[in-house]
Chains A and B, each alone.
Chain A
Amino acid sequence: MSFTTAEPSLLALPAAAAGSRRATLHALLHNRTAWIGGGVLLLIIFAAAFAPWIVPYDPYRVDPIVRLQPPSLAHLFGTDALGRDIFSRIVYGTRLFLLICAIAASIAASIGVTLGLLAGSGPAWLDMLIMRLIDVLLAFPYILLVLAVIAILGPSLWTAMVAVGIAGIPGYARLVRAEVLSVRSLEYVEAMRAAGAGVWRIRLGTILPNVVSPLIVYGTFATPLAVLAAAALSFLGLGAQPPAAEWGAMLVNARTLMFTAWWTVAAPGMAIFVAILSLNLLGNALRDVLDPRSR
C-alpha cells in the first residue's frame, strides 16, 4: 500500500463535445481492462445491494460451536473465531467498502476541487493562502495525516472515513488548480471575461468541464489508496470497530490466527486486494481511453 501524489499531468484535455463523449464510451467498451475492472466492480455493487438475499448466514450471528472451521460446503470461506460465517461477512463487507469509497472520495473531491478552483481562479492572496494550507497538509506523509486526524477525532469507522477524506484533499486541489491555471490563459476565457461574464460563470461553465476527465481518472487512482488506508486503520483497531463486517477489521486478530486458521486471513485480504485491483484496472482503462499519451 503506498500513497503517491499523482502528478497533475493529466492536463489540458479539451472539453468533451457530445461526439467525443460517445467516442470515449465506445473506446471504453472495447477495452479489456475496463471490462475486467468494471465487471468486478459491478459484482461488488451487486453484492452490496442484494447482500441480505445472497448470504447464507447472518453475518453477525455468533456461534461458538462452529468457531474456526476451515472452508467447507456449509461455510464457503470457513468461520472465524466467534463462529461467524466468513463468506457472509465478506459479502456484507462490500457495503462498507462502497461506503468508504463514496465518503472518502466525496469529502476529498468536494473540498479539494473547491479549493483548487478558488486558488487557481481567485485573487493571488487567496492562492497563496490555500497553497500554504495544502502544503501543511502535504507536510505529513499520508498515513501520518490520517493517524493525526484519528488521534484528534477518536477512532471509529466514520472518523476513519473523514480522516482518509481529508488526507485526499491536497491531491484533488493541486490537480484542479493546475488545470485551472492552464485553462485560464486560453483565449476563449479571455474573451468571456472581456464580454463581461461573471467569475463564477466562467469557473463553472468553462473550467470545470475541462477538469472532469482528469478528475475522474485521478479519482479512480486516489480512491483505492484511501480505501487501503481505511482498511489498515481498521486492522489496527483505529477504524471500523468490531463487530462491523469490514474487511480490514476482520483481520484484527490475523497475526495470532494465521498459523492455525489461514482462511480467516486469506478471505478478507483477498477481498481487499481484488476490490482495489478492480478500481486500479478501471482507472488504467479510463486513463488509456482519455489520455493515451501517458501510456
Chain B
Amino acid sequence: MSTYILRRLLLTVPVVIGILFTTFLIKAAIPSDAVVTMYQGQLSEQDASKAIAIMRHKYGLDRPWYMQFLSYTEGVLTGNLGQSIRTRQPVIKEIGYRYRNTLELTFAAFLVALTVGVVSGVVAAYFKDTWLDITSMTVSLFGISMPAFFFGLVLIMVVSVWLRWLPVIENGWQGLILPALTLGLIEAAPLARVARSSMVEALGRDYIRAARAKGMPESVVVLRHALPNALLSIVTLAGLQIGSLFGGAFIIEVIFSWHGIGELAVEAIQWRDFTITQGVILISATTYVLINLVVDILYTWIDPRIVVDKS
C-alpha cells in the first residue's frame, strides 16, 4: 500500500514540472504588453521602446529561455513568485489571504454539492421510476446545463431582491452562503446522476437480495450494504468535482465579489499582470494535483479490492 502511495508521489513530479513550465510560458509571452498598458499614451515612441528594454532587462527577459526557466524554478522553490507588474507588491503577498478564502468557498460548495447530490441520487435510485426519481433527474439535467454565473445572478436577484433575505455582498461566513450555494447546487447535479446510477446498480446486485433474505431492515440494506458499494463511483466523481469546483469558484468569486484568488486571477489577466497570473495558476494547479493525490489514496481505503488489482 505504501509502495502505491510512493509511486503516485513520484508520478506527480513530472506533472509538477509540466505545470511549472506551462506557467512559465505565461510570462514568456509578450511582456511588453504590461508595459504598454501601464504607460499607455504617456510616452513617445522612442521612450516607450526604451522603457520596454529596461523592463525586459529588469525582469531578466533578455536571457535565453532555459536560463529564465531555471531561475524561475529556483525562485518558486524559495518562495519567490516575483512581483506584481501592476502593484509592485510581492505576488505571494497579493495571493496571501485570498488563497484561504478560495479554499473556504471551495470546501463549503463541496459540502453542499456532496450532501445535496448524494442524498437526491440515493433517494432517486431507491424510488426508481417514480415521480420523485424523474423530477430529481430532470432538475439535475437542468443543473448540468445551467451556466454557473447565470445561476449566481439569478440567485442574487431572487434572494436579495424578491425575498430580501441575505445581504448581497458581505464577507465572513454569511457572505459565503450564496456563493457556496450557487456553486454547490450546480456541482450537485452530476453527482446526483452518478449517485443514482451507481446506487441503482448496487441495489440490483445479489448481495442486496441476500441481505434482505437475512431480514435486514430496508434502511440498513440501503445505507450499510448498497451505499458503500456505490460509493466508489461517487467518490471518483467527487474527486474530479473538487477540481471543477475550484475552477468554478474563480468565476463565482467575481460575481459575488468574494475576495479569493479567482477574483485576483481574472483581474490580473484583464490587466496583463503576468506575474500574478503565473503565481495564481501555479498555486492552483499544484493544489489540484495534491487534492487528486489525496483522493486517490482515499480510494484504496474505501475499496479493499483496489489495492489488490492495482497493476
Contact = CB atoms under 8 A, between A and B. Distances in A.
State yes or no: do A and B touch (Cβ within 8 Å).
yes
B288 A140 contact: yes
Contacts of B285: 139-141, 144
A294 B147 CA distance: 26
Given A150-B269, A152-B25, A254-B153, A139 B289 contact: yes
Interface in B220-269: 236-237, 240-241, 243-248, 250-251, 254-255, 265-266, 269
Dominant SS among interface residues on chain A: helix
A248 B251 CA distance: 13
A34 interface: no
A204 interface: no
A294 to B, nearest CB: 7
B154 interface: yes
Interface string B57-92: 000000000000000000000000000000000000
B40 to A, nearest CB: 16
A139 B247 contact: no
B240 to A, nearest CB: 5
Interface stretch (A22-30, A42-50, A62-70, A228-236): A228-236
B266 A258 contact: no
Interface stretch (A2-10, A75-83, A174-182, A209-217): A2-10
Interface of A: 1-5, 7, 132-133, 135-136, 139-144, 147-148, 150-155, 224, 228, 231-232, 235-238, 248, 251, 254-255, 258-259, 262, 265, 269, 272-273, 276-277, 279-281, 284, 294-295
A153 B247 contact: no
B19 A269 contact: no
B157 interface: yes
Nearest to A231: B147
Contacts of B248: 1-2, 143
A48 B216 CA distance: 59
B177 interface: no
B186 A2 contact: yes
A236 B153 contact: no
Nearest to B20: A136
Contacts of A2: 144, 148, 186-187, 189-190, 241, 244-245, 248
Contact of A259 (B144, B147, B157, B240): B157
A258 B18 contact: no
A237 B270 contact: yes
A224 B148 CA distance: 13
B154 A4 contact: no
A151 B274 contact: yes
The 3 A-B pairs at the shortest CB distance, nearest first, are namely A143-B247, A136-B18, A269-B150
A155 B158 CA distance: 32
A54 B25 CA distance: 45
A3 B247 contact: yes
Interface string B133-169: 0000000011011111110011011000100000000
Contact of A236 (B11, B156, B157, B251): B251
A5 B29 CA distance: 29
